[in-house]
A and B are shown apart, each in its own frame.
Chain A
Amino acid sequence: MDRNDTIICQETLQYFKIMLPSFSHEAKNVLAVINENAGLMADYILMAQKGKTLDLERLSSLSTTIRKQVARFNTLITDVRQAAQGIDNNTQTVCLVQHIRQVSELLSTTAAMRSIQFHVSATEEPMHIHTRPVLLLHIMWACLDYAMQTGDQGQQIGLSLEKKGENVLVRVSGIDKLKPESITAIMPDEQRNSVLSALNAELAIDENEKTLLLKIGKHHA
């Protein structure tokens, strides 16, 4: 294994290291809501046993909440499972729209703590590319995390996708404090170069537009 391969392995692990606490936090919240719903239903049963009439509309609303949380949990687990599959399969065909949603959702709690909002303006249509999914998630996470860490409270960070010929452009906009050295702050040079090379991608800064541009080329591997 050469130096580059080692870096790629380390960065793959690094992604799971930073992503799993966010996943765990979201999952725990879902479990907490389901747990409280079950508890409230048990409360209602106790009240009914004591003669109080069951409020069927309220029960129906609890059922809707549980279904909503189950769907939320299913999305979380599916996303993590797909990311895990990306470790074995070096390259996979993935939907970029789904990747953007996944990263922004997992970072949403951290963003909310800083009163920062993500505005995802990706198309509803799937946008498939053949790539190395974990590395792509990792660089997208690093870009969003940087935008968030340097953003002011109340700021809105834009996320959009654009297809340009065989390339896809991911734009992270609304980053006021963007400067040339931001690139290194997003990810150290050696790691970033290895990750971008493996993705056949380029990361650039448009200071005037306060935007990070991730250009992903067709994968030939």
Chain B
Amino acid sequence: MPDKVLLVDDDEDLMEIVSERLKNRGMDVDTVGNTEDALLWIARKHYDAIILDFLMPGMDGFETIHTIRKQQPDIRIIVVTGQMPADDGRKAIQMGADVVLEKPADLEVLAKSIRPSDSN
């Protein structure tokens, strides 16, 4: 079964390319451009992982992480951010994120964050 991934970013160029690259690695990827839509998708479909741009239109990043974690306790939450002070990174983890990656993130690191058991 391919990993089901929800990619959330308001930069369409970035979202399109990351989505294609993850699909090339055998993942099943949906994309949305804001946090409200992300929460709607998560409410109606099971995902193995969500890749979330921290600064997004709509809900505050911490609140989004907390809400996603409540809705899908088993989902991998990978936060990608252009800039985040160390304290905010720690808070994101406390709120339920599994991984915080700084942009520009290496796709192989991103893929391994989705599949932490996959060492290849």
Contacts and interface: CB of A to CB of B under 8 A. Distances in A.
B83 A33 contact: no
Contact of B57 (A29, A43, A62, A112): A112
A24 B82 contact: yes
B103 A28 contact: yes
B104 A32 contact: yes
A36 B18 contact: yes
Interface in B37-75: 55-58
Interface in B62-114: 80, 82-83, 102-105, 107
A62 B82 CA distance: 22
B58 A29 contact: no
Interface in A12-44: 21, 24-29, 31-37, 39-40, 43
Contacts of B82: 24-29, 32
Range class of the A interface residue count: 20 to 34
Q: Which of A21, A65, A68, A113 has the most CB of B within 10 A?
A: A113
Contacts of A69: 13
Contacts of A29: 11, 14, 82, 103
A156 interface: no
Contact of A36 (B10, B57, B58, B107): B107
A115 interface: yes
Interface string A173-210: 00000000000000000000000000000000000000
Range class of the B interface residue count: 20 to 34
A109 interface: yes
A152 to B, nearest CB: 14
A37 B55 CA distance: 21
Given A43-B24, A113-B58, A115-B57, A28 B17 contact: no
Contact of B103 (A21, A32, A37, A114): A32
Interface string A43-60: 100010000000000000
A62 B10 CA distance: 18
Nearest to A114: B57
Contacts of A34: 104
Interface of B: 10-11, 13-14, 17-18, 20-21, 24, 55-58, 80, 82-83, 102-105, 107
Interface of A: 21, 24-29, 31-37, 39-40, 43, 47, 62, 65, 68-69, 109, 112-115
Q: Which 3 A-B pairs have the closest CB atoms?
A: A28-B82, A35-B104, A32-B103
Given A28-B82, A28-B103, 12 more contacts: A29-B82, A31-B103, A33-B13, A35-B104, A36-B14, A36-B18, A39-B21, A40-B21, A62-B17, A65-B17, A114-B57, A115-B57
10 contacts: A24-B82, A25-B83, A28-B83, A28-B102, A32-B11, A34-B104, A35-B104, A40-B20, A40-B21, A112-B57
